Chains A and B, each alone.
Chain A
Amino acid sequence: MSAKPEPWQTAEIAGPKKALVITKPEIAAAMIKRAKRSILVVGYLSTKTDKDTGKMIDYAIRLNKAAGIPIVATAHTIQEFVKKGFEQATQMNAMDIGNRLKDPTWKGLDGKGPYDVALFMGLPYYMEFVILSGLKHFSTNLKTISLDRYYNPHATWSFPNLKVEDWNQSFETMISKLGGN
């Protein structure tokens, strides 16, 4: 696993405040465990089944089951969740959920209060890049984690650029550390 904090798209540099690299999936699992209220935002690339993104949506469902993290499915991702028998995801526009996560007074999907950790996966790289930036600069008590295969520098923590096998393994480890299967 290369732990270099290097953006996947070469020009997408962030500035002085860059995401910390998740060198071990155990760290991500620990962060999720430590979070009071976390949320997982899943973009439509997670439904594509090419070699780069295969299984992503399944990992999202397993993460939900392992850690009870509620899922926001952006764009038409929701359809794939439903097809897989997962009915609990909430459909929302990616910018809309970004905007709400920014707001410390937003009461969350369940009306129980704001989130302190938001995990992202499956949005187009550059779109996730700017949303993470919006949250980095304008949210108050939120930490963000990018679970994509590529280092996304505006997150608080991000996976580095990973080979598919290593990325898959990271999810497996994370899910098992969270007590899921």
Chain B
Amino acid sequence: MVKKGLVVKAKELKTDVALVKNLELSIGKIIDDTWDEPMGPTPFPSMTDLRDWDFKLLQRYKPFYLPYCDVCCLCTFGKCDLSGDKRGACGLNMAAQQSRIVLLACCIGAATHIAHGRHLIDHLIEKYGRRIPLDSGGLNIDVEAPVTRLVVGVKPETLQDLEEVLDWCEEQVTSCLSSAHTGQEGNNIDFESKAFHVGMADQVGMEVADLAQISVLNLPKADPEAPLVELGFGVADVKKPTILVIGHNVPSSVGIIDYLTKKKMLGKVEVVGICCTAHDLTRYEPSAKIVGPISWQLKYIRSGLADLIVVDEQCIRADTLEEAQKVKTPVIASSPKNCLGLKNRTNDLAKELVDDLVEAKVPGVLILDPDKAGEVAVEAAIAVAPKRKRFNIIPDLEAIKAAGEACGGCNECIRACPNNQPIPEAMKAAALGDLDPLATILGECVGCARCDSACPKDFSLHSFMIKAGEEKLWEEKFMMRSGRGSISDVEIRNVGGPIVLGEIPGVIAIVGCSNYPEGGEAVAEIAEEFAKRRFIVVLSGCAAMSVATVKDEEGKSLYEKYPGGFEAGGILNVGSCVSNSHIAGAAIKIASIFAKRNLRANYEEIADYIHNRVGAVGLAWGAYSQKAAAIASGFWRLGVPVVVGPHGSKYRRMLLGRADKKEDWYVYDARTGDRVYVGPAPEHLFTTAESKEEAIVMLMKLCMRPNDTTKGRSMKLTHYIDSHKRYFGVMPDDVHLFIRNKMDIPITMKPEILKILEEKGWKETRIPDPTLLKRMIRKRG
């Protein structure tokens, strides 16, 4: 690894006495020679170092912009109407403005993960020291930190090595963000390239954060049999005092567990979590429990089940304190990024804080010391529980019926609902004593409470739904495999070949939040469809939780039915949002371990390898956040396609290939230098699927890669055609584009496909050693 210092690079340096070419000076740097891999072309890459690669991708996958509205209102020069071919006062046009919005979202997302990593590492260094070795998988992992190795070209070995990696990440976010200033970047494709760049930095930041917590907090280390943990609304023992943690950054939750352990009270207090903090909490202590994804926040708080709430950072409702106050639940804020207006009491005595919370002198406190937050949380929860007696604000049936009778049918609620739920009709039914329609709505509800806010009569509509659906809610008890962390080298060695040759039909990464169009079960259905077909299904974040919420006839969740290894037919939960980096890491490791390519600062070559060979596709069915945008962006730069659910259309830009434009689908054959047509594989880099059926078929199709062997391609085509017929009821009309020679044709479908090939005037092509990079051609003419 490289120690901190100053690097001076110059392609050409002219002085009075000499002309020096390709000078590289390292001042104050100690180049560690324990890593014998040669340094690749782009160590610590700047915003423009990989621009050529981006442009190649963006030439094929052109942006389709989807503006929310006609105007830009980012500076006081405006508002500017950008409709038609108008430009704003600064000269910007609509395409550039939309790409700027994409960049901004990616910058916010990347900043969030990177700042999360920084906070975590500062805390761990303060507590455990700088020299703690990094270890994400013991002897099973040699290629640790694959993303970091690839992107910046260092091999971090101890906690302190991560600091300079974060320095680089922070610089990239600042630079990219600065280019969004009025009068800076003006070209949409350059904005896109910067969004890719910050997405790449985001992957590094996520890896750094997870590597640090896996190593120091001893979270599961690439463990396919990470413990099964309980998940669901009904998992906590309501007789015990209950602490609810919400957010993404685990130190304060660790503080709670450590305090309980120290006081020998583990098991006497329920510690339950929502969102990624819950993932990391159960990775730390498997007896902790998970309530569910982010959309469960209001359900749980309003039901009065939490005696105390600890929030850290990210994806926490901004009205948590107000909602908690309604049910007399004290709140501890524990992150400088989310102080909720509370007084900073970090330096006060724990006992004073506990007393103030228990006596409700304050609604909450800000405690920035995670250990103190843990102690106060436990002591306060124990004292508050008997006083609160699960006080809740879920209305009774009479109140709902009365509201139903008083409802004016104004439609404000349904018009506010992101999922267009028929609330006014359900209220009519409620007036007649029928709560079933309200219960049905709960199944498709994302818990946003926009309906509550919109109702002119101030009905607490979301609470009505919770009451109507309470029976089902209480039955929610599932098992989820806790986050396993990275993928081991052995696993990669076993599947690298079959993936690259196309014999394992694909790696499907289902990630992201729970902004689902019609409930979370779809995620489980999609995951199982692919596991049954022996794809590798990798999960993280809220999606990993939703997958647990469907049981078979024997009451088993998918995690209990399918193996947790990175293998054909496996369903693996890598962990929280920051664990997404291991998915990119697995693809990168295939290039390194299976294909023996150098990783070190060799981004472009490896991305080209992955794009042409590794049939990996991401699905963010319920994506909503800026972090999800940044995560997707990191995958785009690696050439990995991403599909989002319908709400993802609001990210305002798709990256779409044109299957009908033959000229877009040529690659170089690295063996000969010839340009070879390979068909639209993969067809898009970013698109929206409207329904789960479409998502399934789309993912199957997007797994095809130019490098597939005939055996691999015929298997991928079998899945694509089979699912297309099953969900769409017809043969796909583009199969001819994916058949290179007759060996690609799935045997059982041969007569049917041969007929199509004839009708379409199909011609045989050859299978190249595919690359988009001219410099990878081995034979020079």
Contact = CB atoms under 8 A, between A and B. Distances in A.
A127 interface: yes
B89 interface: no
Given A10-B454, A130-B650, 6 more contacts: A17-B84, A91-B732, A93-B687, A123-B690, A127-B690, A131-B66
Q: Name the interface size band of chain B.
A: 35 or more
A94 B69 contact: no
Given A9-B415, A125-B420, A130-B652, A95 B688 contact: yes
Contact of B68 (A44, A125, A130): A130
Interface in B628-671: 646-647, 649-650, 652, 654, 656, 658, 660
A130 B70 contact: no
What's the dominant secondary structure at chain B's contact region?
mixed
A129 to B, nearest CB: 8
A75 B691 contact: yes
B376 interface: no
A75 B22 CA distance: 53
A134 interface: yes
A78 B729 contact: yes
B693 interface: yes
B727 A133 contact: no
Contacts of B646: 124, 126-127
B342 interface: no
B57 to A, nearest CB: 16
A44 B733 CA distance: 19
B687 A83 contact: no
B733 A137 contact: no
B690 A15 contact: no
B93 to A, nearest CB: 10
B434 interface: no
Given A126-B418, A130-B649, A76 B84 contact: no
Given A82-B729, A90-B733, A75 B67 contact: no
Nearest to B687: A95
B476 interface: no
Interface of B: 62, 64-71, 81-84, 94-95, 412, 415-416, 418, 420, 422, 454, 517, 646-647, 649-650, 652, 654, 656, 658, 660, 684, 687-691, 693-694, 697-698, 727-730, 732-733
A98 interface: yes
A76 B687 contact: no
Nearest to A17: B83
A16 B690 CA distance: 28
Name which of A78, A100, A125, A126 has the most chain B CB atoms within 10 A of its CB: A126
B690 A74 contact: yes
A160 interface: no
Interface of A: 8-11, 13-17, 43-44, 52, 74-76, 78-79, 82-83, 90-91, 93-96, 98-100, 102, 106, 123-127, 130-131, 133-134, 136-138
Name which of A16, A94, A99, A137 has the most chain B CB atoms within 10 A of its CB: A137
Given A15-B71, A133-B67, A91 B733 contact: yes
14 contacts: A16-B71, A17-B81, A52-B422, A79-B729, A90-B733, A93-B689, A95-B64, A99-B62, A99-B658, A100-B658, A126-B646, A127-B690, A133-B68, A137-B67
A13 B82 CA distance: 15
A91 B728 contact: yes
A79 B67 contact: no
Contacts of B71: 15-16
A124 B647 CA distance: 9
Contacts of B65: 134, 137-138
B624 to A, nearest CB: 12
Contact of B415 (A10, A76, A91, A102): A10
A74 B691 CA distance: 9
A139 B654 CA distance: 15
B64 A94 contact: no
A102 B416 CA distance: 30
